[in-house]
Amino acid sequence: MLKIRKIRKVLKSRPTIEGAGVHLRRAFGFSEVPQFDPFLMLDDFRADNPANYIKGFPWHPHRGIETITYVIDGSVEHGDSMGNKGVITSGDVQWMTAGSGIIHQEMPKGDKSGIMGGFQLWANLPSSQKMMHPRYRDVKSSQIPEVTLDNGTRIKVICGKVGNIEGPVRDIIIEPEYLDISAAPHSEFTHPTHPGHTVFAYVISGRGYFCKEKNPFTYEVAGENYFDMQRDPFVSSGNLVLFEDGDQLTAVTEKEPLRFLLISGRPIGEPVAWYGPIVMNTQEELQTAFEEYRNGTFTKHG
């Protein structure tokens, strides 16, 4: 019998400032390691005021991780030390494996109305792959298949599979799945998951409830006052649901539609030494990385 994943925890995204002054909301990050293994961070950089994002993320290094940028509104100009440069626009994905080291910049531009929207996910690399050759993939919206279910639910398959439809990003070390799901009102969505994998959902808009958990006191809501007895069983925009282990999960809507990212991956189970844009296994490896960055020997390839 298939085991439906229960809700382990709900986290409310929190405002923070990164880069040269980009205002964003962090769904999870450093303080949640290792609950989200193999993932390290998810940032929501949606904004309608260019002053909150236009200074962007000037040149900075990465080592030991993958960064996945998904744009839903506006555009992001990018360039890196391997000579790659371009623009990703609404619906596009940039999947960058930093590996042994890459220096890059990302500059959000917004659309004609000044609206900018997107998400950046950091995925860890195992020790055996942390110093691999960097690689880089720009995936255009037209390359991402969309599946429409009988109940009207639409699914953009960036990575992983829905039925027989497979996303364009493949051969990734942590065996991830990355879906953008828009569930219609009064619908139920069920999706199989790999037992043992870390699975979470981040709500972009609307509201719904997951895994038939209509009793909101059966799981923890991070950052909530213990004396708040009016907890809502519905999960809404800006909230993240981390699931327990199991074979599948469900999402149910009532009067409102629900759009959410569904992300999963195989845990690595290794020590994490993390400072700024570099994630290694030991403090000694971190120190080496920053020394190499200072003396100009950081990039090994390209």
Q: What is the CATH number of the domain that holds 243?
A: 2.60.120.10
pLDDT level of residue 295 (50, 70, 90 thresholds): very high
- Is 1 contained in some domain? no
Residue 225: pLDDT band (50, 70, 90) is very low
pLDDT at 212: 79
Does residue 300 fall inside a structural domain?
no
Q: How confident is the model at residue 83 (pLDDT cuts 50, 70, 90)?
A: confident
Q: What type of residue is 33?
A: V
In whole angstroms, give the CA distance from residue 101 to residue 97. 9
pLDDT of residue 62: 96
pLDDT tier for residue 215 given thresholds of 50, 70 and 90: low
264 within some domain? yes
Mean pLDDT (whole number) for 116-120: 97
Residue written as token pair 């929501």? 44
Q: Does a structural domain hold residue 227?
A: yes
Tell whether the model's pLDDT for residue 277 goes beyond 50.
yes
Q: Is 56 part of any domain?
A: yes
Q: CB neighbours (10 Å) of residue 92?
A: 22
Q: Which residue has the higher pLDDT, 108 or 216?
A: 108
Number of domains in the chain: 1
pLDDT given for residue 66 in this prediction: 96
Which pair of tokens denotes residue 9? 């925890």
The arithmetic mean of pLDDT across residues 12-30, rounded, is 95
- The answer, yes or no, to whether residue 102 has pLDDT greater than 60, is yes
Q: Compute the distance between CA of residue 97 and CA of residue 260 in angstroms, rounded to an integer.
A: 24
Model confidence at 216, in pLDDT bands (50, 70, 90)? low
Please report whether residue 256 resides in a domain: yes
For residues 145-170, give the mean pLDDT. Answer: 96
CB neighbour class for 262 (10 Å; exposed up to 12, middle 13-18, buried from 19):
buried
Strand, coil or helix: what is 22? strand
Say if CB 7 and CB 213 are below 8 A apart.
yes
User: Do the domain assignments include residue 102?
Assistant: yes
In a domain, 301, yes or no: no
Q: For residue 73, what are the domain limits?
A: 7-295
pLDDT at 227: 47
Q: CA 6 to CA 248: how far, in whole Å?
A: 10
